[in-house]
Every structure is written in structure tokens, then in C-alpha cells.
Amino acid sequence: MLVLQDIHVYYGAIHALKGISLEVNEGEIVTLIGSNGAGKSTSLKTISGLLRPKEGSITFNGADLTRVQPQEIVSQGISQVPEGRHVFTNMSVLENLELGAYLRKDKAEIKKDIEKVYTLFPRLQERKGQLSGTLSGGEQQMLAMGRALMSRPKLLLLDEPSMGLAPILVKQIFSIIKEINKTGTTVLLVEQNAHMALSIAERAYVLETGKIVLSGNAVELAKSEAVRNAYLGG
């Protein structure tokens, strides 16, 4: 479904991604793990069109996305939940969800999709008229995910969904990610909590300083001594 081939990305003189290649197949949950500054978020921003690679190519369902504008990438079926959530704090929960469907014109279907989001995240239904800035961190994460789903993505990019959340909420968010995947959305997950990420993913890539150093089956990687020592606390 998604193929990155030899992607190089720079921030000014800093070589952030040094020739990464990866693929995501339809229906999978694939995770990118690695320490801070390894290039995980940079990889997602490059797929979303927010950063331009200097070299390499990105294809999605056979179409070249390497030089495509971000809103066009959303219309092709890729949606990103950014790190830090970035909900529109002075707008209500419902208004945030409606904004997620800004490229769509099918009003009746948009309503149905809002109901689907409320089924996944009952808390959002309870808070639908509330200003998003008054929500807790966990509720804002749910809203950011719900908003991304409103564009009906074929591929959902999740950047650090567990960041800053209490352990009980982390479990809840990860079980919802599995639920979203079961309903037919492919997921590419960037996550600092390697243990949780590997527990729900089929495959994983390990990034270190802008390079992929390991890849393979998530269960096997979780058992690997190198991964355990570096990311799972031994």
C-alpha cells in the first residue's frame, strides 16, 4: 500500500533521514520505534507532505506522492494524528470532528461517521458541545484520532498517541487503535512506548539516528535482545 524508497530528509544542514526504505501492506498495523530524535516523527511528516525529501520516492497504492501537497495526500486517503494532538482548542468537540471532514461533501455520510466516532469514543459524545481546550489530555487524544478518521483514511498515521497519558488511558488508546484497524483502516504507528507498540503491531522498524537498523515481525523483535536492551528495559 505504502512504499518509501531510499528517503533522505534534511532540516537545513542536518541530515534527519538517511536513506530509509519501508513498506506498509493493506490491513496491517506497522510501528516505527526508536529513541527521541531517531527520525520517527520526521518519517510521518514526510509521508504527509509536511516535509519534502531531498532524495527518494514515496508511493501510495501505486501513485507517486513524493512532491504532492498535504491536502491532496489527505484526499488520496492518508490522515495523520500529530504528536501533541493539536486540537482546535476554541472550537467544540463536534466542530473539531466536522473539520476533519472538510474535504467531503456527503453530509448524510459525515453524520454517520460522527456517530461511528462516538461509538469508538463514548467520552466524546458526552463532551460534544464542550470546548476542546477544556478536555483532558486523554480526551484530546481521542478527539485528534476521531478527527483524523472523519476523512475516511485508508491509512492512518499516528504520532506518539500515548505521550503524556496515564497508563490506564494508554491501554484504552491502544485497544481503540486495534479496533480501528479491525474495521479496515491500515495503521502506521510511531510510538515511544515500544512495549505497547510491539504488542499490537504485525511488523516493526527500528530507527536509530535517521536509519532503519532492524525490521521484522513485531513479536520476534520484542524478543530480540538488542531491542529489549535498548527499548524495553532489558
pLDDT per position as a tens digit, 50-75: 999 999 999 999 999 998 999 899 99
Q: What's residue 192's pLDDT?
A: 85
Q: For the chain, which residues make up each domain, given as ranges?
A: 2-77+153-231, 87-151
pLDDT per position as a tens digit, 118-149: 999 999 999 999 999 999 988 999 999 999 99
Domain covering 2-77+153-231, topology:
Rossmann fold (3.40.50)
Share of the chain above pLDDT 70, in %: 99
pTM: 0.91
Q: What's residue 184's pLDDT?
A: 93
Are the C-beta atoms of 202 and 28 separated by less than 8 Å? yes
| Spatial CB neighbours of 27, under 8 Å, sequence gap ≥ 6 | 181, 184, 186
Is the predicted pLDDT of residue 104 greater than 90, yes or no? no
pLDDT per position as a tens digit, 194-205: 989 999 999 999
Is the predicted pLDDT of residue 234 greater than 60, yes or no? no
Torsion of CA 123, 173, 84, 214, to 10 degrees: -170
CA distance 161 to 193: 9
